[in-house]
Chain A
Amino acid sequence: MSDFVFATAQYDSGDWDSAPMLPANVIDSIARYTSIDVAPTGVIVPLASPALFRYPLVSLTGHLPVRFSAAERDNLRAFAERGGLLFVDDHNHDIDGVFHKTATEELARVYGPLREIPNRHPLYRCFFTFDDGPPTTSHELNGWGDNLVHKTLSGAEHEGRLSLIYSSKDYSSEWNYHPDNKRFLSVDNTKFAVNLVVYALTR
């Protein structure tokens, strides 16, 4: 069986590498909580590259405006049709911010209109249970960004499965620290990342 490899999307516009510690932290949580064979390091995969299809779960984040090239758009469309899952997180945590406005617009061009993911979705129960939906981040509670606590995630489906998960909760900031520092947390805030990966690998 091949290892699970955490992949970060590289796109032509914007700052795709704004959360450099996130992959290591997610990989650490996968190894810590599950017996899933996970590669010890993540990879960076250009959205326009055929290599995208080697990694059926890809994470995308950033602060700056997003404009996909035609090749990136075509690749993402094929990626979704074949069963790939794209996780997009607004690193600004601001629905008035440029990332949110441009990214949602671009994603809607590829995936169609984004819809709210109900909080009873299997995504929130496939490993850890999150009764209230997506866990709140410290950045939401601190009033940064848009000063809102987003109750749900949004996304798009293909053949009854999520092909896109879009978050305004700023998990990129929440998970962007060295895994060794988890020991200072009373509650591990990366547990939802485990659900994200388990969902992608099982549904």
Chain B
Amino acid sequence: MPSRADWRRWAEWALRLLLVAVLAVALWRSVRASRPGATTVTARASTLSEALQQVTATSRVGALRVEVDGALSPVQRDWLVALRRAGVRVGWHGAPPSLAVAADRAREPVAAVRVRLASDSGGPIVLTDSVGVIDSVRAGGATIEASDIVGTVSARRGAFAAFAPAPARVPRRAVLVLGRAGWESRFVLAALGEAGWQVRARLPVTPGIAVVDASVLPMDTSRYDVVVALDSSASDLAPAIARFVAQGGGVIAAGSALNVGALRALVAARTGDRVPGRILLDGDTLTRGDLPLRPLVAASADAVVLERQPAGPAVAIRRAGRGRVAAVGYDESWRWRMQGGATGEAEHRAWWSRMAGLVAPEREPLTPLTPLDPTLRGDAAPRAALVSALGDASVSSDAGDRPASNRLPLVLLVLAAAALLAETASRRFRGAA
């Protein structure tokens, strides 16, 4: 059994080892501190490009702090992420505004670009494209439609900006209208044609005779974007319509076409009993809600109702195969155009074009989406992208200078002194040299 003197000697050895370990740590820290990478570089948004090159080109920089007082490009942001992964401590501080912008275009021949904007409270935001100013809006949310947008949409507040490429105009393929000769067929043709769609039609006038555009068939997605079946006269083409939808084409079925047996597997719903429209008095104008309606019934489980009137669902849509099929319960929509007052014609045209756009297939633009001015490229939501890449400002900025790391030399000094003192005192008390 070890004696008390043995325990004492072992304790002295332990204190000596502790002292050596503390000295080793201090030595390692001093060597590390003397390495060139220990310096910290601070940069603003305007000088960040030079700073990034400097930090990347030399191994002397151990930390990079960015004061975000202006917009950072995605390249700069990704560069910061790469530096962090390479061991450089990267942090940022500042208060960039929460700003997000998105631009999309309906699948219509002459659709306007819809710009959606969201921001926190603050000053007004200026929307521009690659050519010039579009509009300015107050803080909050806004949706703006512009007929012609070129290149990149930017939303600027002060030195900060969010960017979104304007979607290119995609050439649309034709719409085939199938319906009996009548006002509904005639005015659907007119509305779609005036909205810029290339329209073909087959309109039976009597059994065996139809007003038909040249080469209406075959019905496939290389020729057509949308087939509009206005009544049961489309029933003989139901198998071709089903193939067309399976290929990815869009179908709008209305009126008695919804009750064609061969189309039932495709359409979102069938029609119920006809509800008469509103009776108009002199001076009244007609709106879509006033039209006669065959409410949609027996909707399939995956049908999404897009429009509802007091009498019931008026428009529903569903996916079928690779395509989309819309069911329309409105009857005699042509009355909306003719009796809709000063705006009825335009509303009727826009509505039918929008319906066709809803079911039309996505197609790739002929030219790639490249902004005219490449320097305008940026994030659609810059603050969100920055936080996602580098973390929150308060955490990141402090990450390189934590108080705990500053106290380590003092702790090491106290520990070394205490170990040395204890070991010396122990030896002296037992009378050793």
Contacts and interface: CB of A to CB of B under 8 A. Distances in A.
A126 B203 CA distance: 11
Contacts of B185: 201-202
Given A54-B338, A83-B190, A126-B211, A34 B205 contact: yes
Given A2-B332, A126-B211, A56 B183 contact: yes
Given A34-B181, A202-B181, A127 B205 contact: yes
Interface string A22-63: 000000000001111100000000000110011010000000
A84 B181 contact: no
A198 B338 contact: no
> Size band of the B side of the interface?
35 or more
A53 B335 CA distance: 8
A27 B290 CA distance: 29
B195 to A, nearest CB: 11
Contact of B180 (A1, A50, A126, A127): A1
B364 interface: no
Given A2-B182, A201-B186, A33 B345 contact: no
Contact of A159 (B190, B211, B282): B190
Given A36-B181, A202-B203, A202-B205, A54 B186 contact: no
Contacts of A35: 180, 204-207
A184 B29 CA distance: 120
A190 B187 CA distance: 26
Contacts of B332: 1-2
Contacts of B431: none
Interface in B242-284: 255-256, 280, 282-284
Interface in B173-193: 180-187, 189-190, 193
A54 B205 contact: no
B339 A54 contact: yes
B231 A54 contact: no
B28 to A, nearest CB: 84
Contacts of B183: 2, 4, 56, 201
B339 A202 contact: no
A103 B339 CA distance: 26
A50 B204 contact: no
Given A81-B345, A82-B344, A53 B211 contact: no
B202 to A, nearest CB: 10
Nearest to A52: B338
A56 B283 CA distance: 18
A88 interface: no
B200 interface: no
Given A50-B339, A159-B194, A203-B189, 20 more contacts: A1-B256, A34-B181, A34-B206, A35-B205, A36-B205, A50-B283, A53-B339, A54-B339, A56-B183, A56-B338, A81-B345, A82-B337, A82-B344, A83-B186, A83-B345, A159-B190, A198-B205, A198-B211, A202-B185, A202-B211
10 contacts: A35-B205, A36-B181, A37-B182, A49-B282, A56-B186, A56-B187, A83-B345, A198-B211, A201-B181, A202-B186
Q: Which 3 A-B pairs have the closest CB atoms?
A: A53-B338, A202-B211, A201-B181
Interface of A: 1-2, 4, 33-37, 49-50, 53-54, 56, 78, 81-84, 126-127, 159-161, 198, 200-203
